[in-house]
Amino acid sequence: MGLTHIDAGGRAAMVDVGGKETTRREAVAAGRIRMSRECLTIVSENAAEKGDVICVARVAGIMAAKRAPELIPLCHPLSLTSVSVDFQLYPETSEIEAICVVRCEGRTGVEMEALTGVSVALLTVYDMCKAVDKHMEIGGVHLVRKTGGKTVEI
């Protein structure tokens, strides 16, 4: 299978999903941010000067998932039925993992929304903590699972 967002002439094109069946679709994306132990302690104790890092990052991730089509040129606007962003702290590696789950009833998947949500959630953690740790590193952003449509699950 070739690239679906390129037409026969090699030009960028939005995929026509009009003939696809409407199904329940879900995508889960995850990624991590590594930081100093001091910074992770501040986040875990809710002691950041800018406020509750996890709460703000959760809201930012949800908002970002809803706006994915405004940020990604060929992404279809979808009526999302659910977006959640959760976090897991890993003191042993001084990391925070963000997990974004997006659902809809539609004709195309919600992978881009989930990946956008997790990315912006992690960027928000970075923004809120950069005064404490200027060497944080975001990585490992990936699609964990998708269901719905032709692809039952990956």
Tokens 């953690």 belong to which residue?
Answer: 125
16 annotated active-site = no
Query: Could you say which of 52, 86, 127, 133 is catalytic?
Result: 127
Dihedral sign, CA of 111, 144, 57, 128? negative
Tokens 């919600």 belong to which residue?
Answer: 110
- Which ranges constitute the DSSP H helices of the chain? 37-44, 53-66, 68-71, 111-129
Active-site amino acid positions: 127
